[in-house]
Chains A and B, each alone.
Chain A
Amino acid sequence: MVPPQCVYFRMLYHYLDQKRKEGSARLHATYLVSGKFVENGTTSHKVSVVREDQLEDAKSKMSLTVSVHVYSVQKAVLKDSGPLYSADYDAVKENLRNCSRYSAIRCADAVPRSSAEVQQACETTQAPPPETEQIKANHSNLASKPTSKQPKGIMGMFANKNVSKNQDSSKEIKLEQKEVTPVVETSKTKPAPKTNPVTNFFAKQAAKKPDKSIKEEVEIAQTSSSVDEKPTSPPPKAETPVKEELAKDAVVEKDTSKTKRLEHSDSEEEKNESRRKKRRRIKKPEPDSSDDEVIPDSPPQLQEKRDPSPSPEIQVKKEPVAVSHSDELSDCKRRKRRRVLKSRTFVDDEGCIVTEKDYESESYSETEDDFKFSQPTPKNPNPPKPSTGKKEEEKKSKKAAAASNKSTKQASIMGFFQKK
């Protein structure tokens, strides 16, 4: 009875021998020689891989040769033992799992544990690192999120009110909803990748729980936010539900993110805050001016006769509002909506073509800011001219339109009152 290794080595030797007897292929072999070696008075056990031509030499140098066998067989003469290692490495890598199967030595203890046992061992032996504590805290946060989300979010909003420096932009409530959806969507996508570094820190089983709970919470946030969106659409002054909804998103982002990502979420939060802030600030002047202006303006515009007296007032109001808006507009750097003076040409019910100039909401981006701003201001002095007859109206409006068209290219005096 011999160990399995011996069988292999004998087979290898036999193969080599046979091939050489046949004389078919020129095969070279490397041998393993091990034994006692005396050097400078110290004895050592030496295990070496030698080429065939060095075999006898190596054997003679050993004082006691323990074993000699064929290590490898190859077609070409090996100058260097490097290829032996690389071939061996590849073979070992493939059979990493069963490397002890063909060994001559069995070890009773070397039985791989199941993953559950491994996890148990980890939990008992490891002192909890601070990350797991933080993540556990996050778990408890997630669990209690539905109950504590709303007050947290609102208080968080009030706390951060003074922090945000960016001043408003003009938006309407409808636009808020549209913005809310992309914000919500981004927040939805964010928790998903954020869980990955979280799960990497855990063993696999433990990771499933935070995954599930985070996803559940995100879904809840989603449904709640979508539900909230609908009631906010009709009333123009539905600030609080929107705030709550965005606060929830901010809280979702906060709780599910790790310390690194917290910075991103903070900036995201600040963006949300600033947006909300901008919206809030605009709403205050807007209810004063726009609600009064939009509603009374549109019926007279639909009617043929324009009321000259309220219009100059309105236009005057609009002017400072436009100025204030544009001042604030210029500071923001995102896609926004604002009120722009535009001329609409239509046929009234007497069959006359009427051109009306009015503020309309329009989305724009930063680059168009300065450009468009020069447009409304020269238009403003033109419309307030009182017109008696329809035709005069038409002419004047046409003239005004023509004049305004020409004047867009001129530099405006309002340029002095722009960005400071």
Chain B
Amino acid sequence: MFSEVSAPQEGSCSLLLCRPGSEDQEPSVFDRVKPAYSPCSERFKLGERSFNRQYAHIYATRLMQMSPLLTERAQQKWGADVRIRKLCDLQMGEQCCIVGTLFKHMELQPSILKEISEEHNLLPQPPRTRYISESDELILEDELQRIKLEGNIDVDKFVTGSVIAIYGAEKNDGKFTVDDFCTADLPPQAPRTTLSSDRFVLLLSGLGLGGSHADSMLALQLLVDMVTGHLGDQGEQSGASTISRVLLAGNLLSQSTQDKDASTKAKYLTKKTQAGTVDAMRLLDEMLMQLVSSVPVDVMPGQYDPTNYTLPQQPLHHCMFPLSSSYPTLQLASNPHQATLDGVRILGTSGQNVKDIQKYSSMDSHLEILENTLRLRHLAPTAPDTLGCYPFYLKDPFILEECPHVYFSGNAPSYQAKRITGAEGQEVLLVAIPEFSSTQTACLVNLRTLECEPIRFSSFSAGDDEESEMNISH
């Protein structure tokens, strides 16, 4: 744990509560550990973009890429002699296995066609937190046909776009009765190199700069100071020097910087006003400047950051960081982001995929959803149905081909971490990074042991006189 690493050797904590002595004439500094870093997120970088294509091609490639994996899994699970049928070849009453993409039909799902249709006379629906209902249905689609599913399958747990294999039979009424199902499960994992000493990666998300509530600014400054070695005593600073990298996972700017009025207000009113994001980006640049002068930083964009909306979000442009972009330690990354750090593969998103699945399923815990996506072997199954996505047609880059060692998602409401083991011995650390602006908590991942520890920064406020400040979460 980080605390043990930073614990003072002599055991006396009042080392700093004394006069400066004569031995302080020669200051010593710690060297930041330098890990072997290589980014592997080329698949998420888009070059020339053309939006002339339909989205159906993504589903076609997704199915094409995943069906051999699923047939293999099905054979492993239900025996090598299980019949795998296409939907067009289904026989009545025959026990077989079908592979296809799930489609969840939800009544409450907002549909633009319904809204503009005159015969329905519907008013635009207000956004809800959840769009599931009792009457949802699951439908399996393959290349040619689709069939309704019923039976031993929990409709609430699945979302549109997941590719699964189903074992069951078709009954008389044209529906497929499910006995069992299986997902693609974890992909193969490359073994990671064992490290000799502790190395940490700081995962951080949801800074919320430029927001109206500046509660977490001091906590953020404390974090920056701690990581750069301005705080704490000797032990702590040596501990801070073992933080080899900082990863900012999205939502660096607050949601309040998104000015929705800009599109509706008249131009002559908004001509001289600066966008809210300008000041916020300046704050971010100054903060990054402090960080990059001491530690390598990966910056991923999030839902409220000035980059494109559709996944994969492209890296923030370097022109927005005039101060910090001159440092080679600043790495502007895409969302999702993948990198290898000292042989440990780290993959994650800024949380949009998890939040979207949360809206369309009954799962609440970000960690549970994260595990689900890993087992489905797909980062964002709801893209492009309800989550904005670029119209890929050659390849679906969200399919996980190699199992990561650390799999994270940002902007979770609270900190959660779990270690799971795959069928073939894969070990993955799942981390749901909490939103810093509300929890003032960041995550420290130990690359040697694949363990995660939250780190909290707190300050005091006027309301702390009666209650202990430990109990208040800002």
Tell me whether A105 and B32 are in contact (CB under 8 A): yes
B237 within 8 A of A: yes
Give every chain A residue within 8 A of B276 (Cβ-Cβ). none
Mark A39-78 against chain B: 1 for CB-CB distance below 8 A, else 0. Answer: 1001111111111001001100100111111100000001
Asked if A295 is at the interface of the complex by the 8 Å CB criterion, the answer is no
- Which residues of A have CB within 8 Å of B173? none
Looking at the assembled complex, report how far the CB atom of A61 sits from the nearest CB atom of chain B, in whole angstroms.
Answer: 5
| A1-42 residues at the B interface, CB under 8 angstroms | 1-7, 9-11, 13-14, 17, 30, 32, 34-37, 39, 42
A23 to B18: give the CA distance in the assembly, Å: 19
Alpha-carbon separation in the docked complex, A174 to B17 (Å): 89
Tell me, in angstroms, the Cα distance from A5 to B294 when the chains sit together: 15
Question: Does B318 sit within 8 A of A, measured CB to CB?
Answer: yes
Cβ of B77 under 8 Å from chain A: no
B287 to chain A, nearest CB (A): 9
Bound state CA distance, A105 and B33, in angstroms? 10
Q: Closest CB-CB distance, B452 to chain A, in whole Å?
A: 10
- Cβ of A112 under 8 Å from chain B: yes
Q: When the two chains form their complex, are residues A108 and B32 in contact, meaning their CB atoms are under 8 A apart?
A: yes
Which of the segments A91-99, A153-161, A327-335, A377-385 contacts the partner chain?
Answer: A91-99
B34 contact set on A, CB distance < 8 A: 107-109
In the complex, what residues of B have CB within 8 A of residue A88's CB?
218, 221
For B30, list chain A residues within 8 Å (CB).
3, 104-106
The verdict on A103 contacting B233 (CB below 8 Å), with A2-B24, A7-B20, A66-B3 known, is no
Known pairs A99-B290, A113-B328; A68 contacts B13 (CB<8 A): yes
B144 interface contact, C-beta 8 A:
no
Q: Is B343 close to A, CB under 8 A?
A: no
One of B131-139, B349-357, B385-393, B460-468 at the interface: B460-468
Q: Which residues of B contact A68 (CB under 8 A)?
A: 13-14, 16-17, 233
Contacts A2-B23, A105-B32; A67 near B236 (Cβ below 8 A): yes
Q: Does A85 contact B (CB under 8 A)?
A: yes
Which residues of A from 104 to 133 have beta carbons under 8 Å from B?
A: 104-113, 115, 118, 122, 127
B328/A47 in contact, CB under 8 A: no
Q: Return chain B residues, CB-CB under 8 Å to A111.
A: 327-328
A360 to B: closest C-beta gap in Å: 44
Describe A's contact surface by its main secondary structure. Answer: mixed
User: A108 CA to B292 CA in the complex, in Å?
Assistant: 11
Complex contact B318–A85 (CB within 8 A): no
Whether the Cβ atoms of A13 and B329 lie closer than 8 Å is no
Q: Which residue of B lies closest to A32 (CB)?
A: B231
Of the 9-residue stretches B53-61, B164-172, B222-230, which lies at the interface with chain A? B222-230
Over the window 5-28 of chain B, the binary record of Cβ atoms lying under 8 Å from chain A Cβ atoms (1 yes, 0 no) is: 011100001111111110110111
A226 to B13, CA, bound (A): 83
Q: Which residues of B contact A134 (CB under 8 A)?
A: none
Nearest opposing residue in chain B for A79, CB measure: B462
Residues of A within 8 A of B20 (CB): 7, 10-11, 14
A99 touching B29, Cβ below 8 Å:
no
Asked, given contacts A13-B17, A106-B30, A109-B296, whether A6 binds B234 with beta carbons under 8 Å apart, the answer is: yes
How many chain-A residues does the 8 Å CB contact rule pick out?
Answer: 71
Q: A44-B455, A67-B232 are in contact. Are A110 and B294 (CB under 8 A)?
A: yes
Counting contact residues on chain B (CB < 8 A from A), the size range is 35 or more
| Partner among A9, A49, A96 whose Cβ is within 8 Å of the Cβ of B458 | A49
- The CA-CA distance from A113 to B318 in the complex, in Å, is 14
A10 and B453 within 8 A (CB): no
**Contact A46/B18 with A96-B286, A96-B289, A104-B237 known, Cβ cut-off 8 Å:** no
CB pair A100 B233 closer than 8 Å: no
Q: Report yes or no: A10 in contact with B28, Cβ–Cβ below 8 A.
A: no
- When the two chains form their complex, are residues B6 and A3 in contact, meaning their CB atoms are under 8 A apart? no
CB distance from A130 to the nearest CB of B (A): 10
Min Cβ gap A142→B in Å is 24
Query: Which chain B residues border A78 with CB–CB below 8 Å?
Result: 460
State A246–B31 Cα separation when bound (angstroms): 67
In the complex, the chain B residue whose C-beta lies closest to that of A11 is B20
Decide if A81 touches B218 in the complex (CB within 8 Å).
yes
Q: Is the CB of B232 within 8 A of A69?
A: yes
Distance from B76 Cβ to chain A, minimum over Cβ atoms (Å): 36
**B398 touches A (CB below 8 Å):** no
**Which 9 A-B pairs give the minimum distances between C-beta atoms?**
A105-B229, A81-B459, A36-B3, A69-B16, A104-B229, A100-B293, A107-B32, A85-B218, A67-B233
Partner-A contacts on B (CB < 8 A): 1-4, 6-8, 13-21, 23-24, 26-32, 34, 47-48, 214, 217-218, 221-223, 226, 228-237, 239-241, 286, 289-290, 292-296, 318, 323, 325-329, 441, 444, 453-462, 464, 468-470
Known contacts A44-B455, A64-B3, A113-B328, then 19 further A-B pairs from the complex at CB < 8 Å, ordered by chain A residue:
A3-B28, A5-B231, A9-B16, A13-B16, A34-B232, A35-B3, A45-B444, A45-B453, A47-B458, A48-B459, A82-B214, A96-B286, A105-B229, A105-B294, A107-B293, A108-B31, A110-B32, A110-B327, A111-B327
* Interface residues in chain A, defined as those with a beta carbon under 8 Å from any beta carbon in chain B: 1-7, 9-11, 13-14, 17, 30, 32, 34-37, 39, 42-51, 54, 57-58, 61, 64-70, 78-82, 84-85, 88-89, 92-93, 96, 99-100, 102-113, 115, 118, 122, 127
